[in-house]
Structure 1
Amino acid sequence: MAVIKIRNTNEVIEGHENVSSFLEKQGVLYEHWEMRKLPETLKEKFVLSDQDKEEILSTYKEEIEDLAERRGYKTWDIVALSDATPNLEDLLKKFENVHTHTEDEVRAITAGHGIFIIKGDDQTGYFDVELEAGDVISVPEGNPHFFTLMEDRQVVAVRLFIETEGWVAHPFEEKEEVNK
């Protein structure tokens, strides 16, 4: 289950209903998919073959198609990151810059962990959403954010897009420094 940490107050929000309620107020979609569906062989696998990726997409076909229909997403794929990923450090540096997109950034975590750092409303400021397997998040288009890995440096996620071109990151210049 996701955990939220609000940076300017150090408040921690836990529990599905509390996390969902907080994120809904910030305009961020949060859902949870049943991870027992995923074959055991893929639950801790972070270097994936094309066949592995297809198996994940097939396992969550109903959930993906439901989310796509509700939100207008037209295409999806799998991203897998770990210490075995070529140029991981360069990728992380690119990810760890606050940016926006011209469409939602959607991730459904199927293995490992990741953190979205999202700019909330003026009162809330930036908050971290620590995600684990089963967590699904959609950061709205135009909302400043960035993504990074947690200590285990491993994640597998389904990504959904309206158009892959809409996922291009546009740098966001912040007036105040984001404490990374």
Structure 2
Amino acid sequence: MAEIRIRNTNERIQGEENVRAFLENQEVLYEHWNTDKLPEELREKFILSDEEKAQILSVYDEDIRDLAGRRGYRTWDIIALSDATPNLDELLKKFESVHTHTEDEVRAITAGKGIFIIKGTDDVGYFDVELEAGDVISVPEHKAHFFTLMENRQIVAVRLFIETEGWIAHPYADPSFQK
């Protein structure tokens, strides 16, 4: 279950309803998908064949299509990151700088853990959303944020897009941001 840490105060927000309410106030969509329907052998697997990626997409097809229908997403795929990913540190550098997008950034975590760091309202500032399997998040277009892995450095997620070109980041210079 997702957990939030507000960076300015170190306050933690826990529990699905509390997390959902906080994120809703920050204009961030949060949902939870049932991880029990994913086959056991894929729940902790971070190096995936094309067939295994297709299997994950098939298992969550109804959830994906429901979300896509409600939010206008037209394409989706699987991203799997771990220490076995070639050039992982270089790839993470691309993700780990504050940026925006011209569409929502959506991730449905199917295995592992990750963190979205999001710029909230002026009274909140930046906050971390610590995600794990089953958590689904949609950071709205033009909202400053970035994503990184947690200490285990392993994640598998469904990514949904409106634009068929996929993930396109626009740098966001913010002197108030501190890592």
2:15 matched residue in structure 1: 15
Query: How many Å separate the matches in 2 of 1:128 and 1:44?
Result: 23
Change (3 A) 1:166 1:36: closer
CA contact (8 A) 2:74 2:164 kept: no
- Following the alignment from structure 1 to structure 2, what is the Cα–Cα distance between the partners of residues 61 and 89? 31
Distance 2:167 2:8 in 1: 28
In structure 2, what is the equivalent of residue 155 of structure 1? 155
Q: What is the CA–CA distance in structure 1 between the aligned matches of 2:165 and 2:124, rounded to whole Å?
A: 30
Shift of 1:149: 0.2
**Which position in structure 2 is the counterpart of 1:57?**
57
Match of 1:132 in 2: 132
Rounded to whole Å, the distance in 1 between the matches of 2:2 and 2:171 is: 26
Residue 179 of structure 1 corresponds to: 178
- Local SS of the residue matching 1:156: strand
Q: Is the contact made by 2:77 and 2:159 (CA closer than 8 Å) also made in structure 1?
A: yes
- Which 5+ residue runs of structure 2 have no aligned equivalent? none
Paired residues of 1:108 and 1:159 also in contact (CA < 8 A): yes
1:165 shift after superposition: 3.1
Deviations 1:126-157 (A, max 9, x none): 00000000000000000000000000000000
Q: CA deviation at 1:167?
A: 2.9
* Count of aligned residue pairs for this structure pair: 179
Q: In structure 1, what is the equivalent of residue 26 of structure 2?
A: 26
* CA deviation map 1:80-120 (0-9, x unaligned): 00000000000111110000000000000000000000000
Aligned partner of residue 165 in structure 2, secondary structure? helix
**1:78–1:158 Cα contact (<8 Å) kept:** yes
SS in 2 for 1:165: coil
Aligned-residue RMSD, C-alpha: 0.8
C-alpha distance after superposition, 1:52-76 (max 9, x if no partner): 0000000000000000000000000
1:48 matches 2:36: no
Distance 2:131 2:175 in 1: 27
**In 2: Cα distance, 1:38 partner to 1:165 partner:** 28
CA distance in 1, matches of 2:164, 2:116: 20
Give 1:166 shift: 6.0
Conserved? CA contact 1:74–1:161, under 8 Å? yes
- Code of the aligned partner of 2:146: F
TM-score scaled by length of structure 2: 0.98
- Letter in structure 2 aligned against 1:65: R
Task: Give distance in 2, aligned partners of 1:21 and 1:66.
Answer: 21
The letter for the 2-side match of 1:175 is P
